[in-house]
Structure 1
Amino acid sequence: MVTPREELIRRILNWSRARDDVRAVVLFGSLAQPDARVDDMSDVDIELTFAVVTPELLAGSWWRDFGVVWTAYSLDPLPVWSLVYEGGLTVDLSVVDPSRIAGMVSAGKLSRVWERGYRVLLDRDGSTRGLPAPSGAMPEPGRLTHDEFRRLVDGFWVEVLRVPKYIARGELWAVKSRDWTAKTRLLRMLEWHAIVLGGHRVDGHGLGRGMPGWLPADLWHAVHGVFGRFDAADALHAYQASVEVFARAAGDVAAALGFSYPTDRDRLLRDFAEDLIRKVDADAVTAGTGAS
Structure 2
Amino acid sequence: MDYNAVLDALSKWAQRTDNVRAVLVTGSAAAGDVHPLSDRDIEIYAHNVESLLEDESWWNGFGEVLVVERLANDPGPPTRLIYYAGGKLDFTLIPAGDLATAVHTRPFQVLVDKDACAPPSPSTVETPNPPKPDEVDQAINWGYAAALMCAKAVVRDELWSAKLRDNDLKDELLRMIEWDHRLRYGASIDTRYLATRMNTWMDADIRSELSHCWSRFDAADTAAALRRTTALFSRLSERVATALDLPVFDHERLISEIDHILQKRQDQHPGPTTAAAHHGTNVAEQRP
| Alignment CA distance shift 1:49-1:145 (3 Å) | closer
Alignment gaps of 5+ in structure 1: 105-109, 287-292
CA distance in structure 2 between the aligned counterparts of 1:57 and 1:212, rounded to whole angstroms: 38
| Alignment CA distance shift 1:204-1:29 (3 Å) | closer
Native 8 Å contact 2:155 2:261 kept in 1: no
Q: CA deviation at 1:203?
A: 4.3
Tell me the TM-score normalized by structure 2. Answer: 0.85
Native 8 Å contact 2:47 2:97 kept in 1: no
Figure out how many residues of one structure are paired with residues of the other and give that number. Answer: 266
Native 8 Å contact 1:165 1:280 kept in 2: no
CA distance in structure 2 between the aligned counterparts of 1:229 and 1:148, rounded to whole angstroms: 31
Deviations 1:82-111 (A, max 9, x none): 0012x231111121122221213xxxxx32
Selected match of 1:238 from 225, 228, 241: 225
CA distance in structure 1 between the aligned counterparts of 2:256 and 2:124, rounded to whole angstroms: 45
Selected match of 2:114 from 103, 124, 127: 124
SS of residue paired to 1:92: strand
Q: CA deviation at 1:270?
A: 2.0
Q: Which residue is equivalent to 1:202?
A: 190
Name the aligned partner's letter for residue 63 of structure 2: G
Give % identity: 29
Q: Which residue is equivalent to 1:5?
A: 3
Deviations 1:58-104 (A, max 9, x none): 1111212323211111112311110012x231111121122221213
Name the aligned partner's letter for residue 79 of structure 1: P
Q: CA RMSD in A?
A: 2.0
Tell me the TM-score normalized by structure 1. Answer: 0.84
* 1:39-188 correspondence to structure 2 within 5 Å: 39-53=35-49, 55-61=50-56, 62-77=58-73, 78-85=77-84, 87-104=85-102, 110-112=103-105, 115=106, 117-128=107-118, 131-137=119-125, 139-188=126-175
CA distance in structure 2 between the aligned counterparts of 1:246 and 1:92, rounded to whole angstroms: 32
Alignment gaps of 5+ in structure 2: 275-288
Q: CA deviation at 1:204?
A: 5.7
Native 8 Å contact 1:191 1:202 kept in 2: no
Name the aligned partner's letter for residue 191 of structure 1: E
Q: CA deviation at 1:153?
A: 0.8
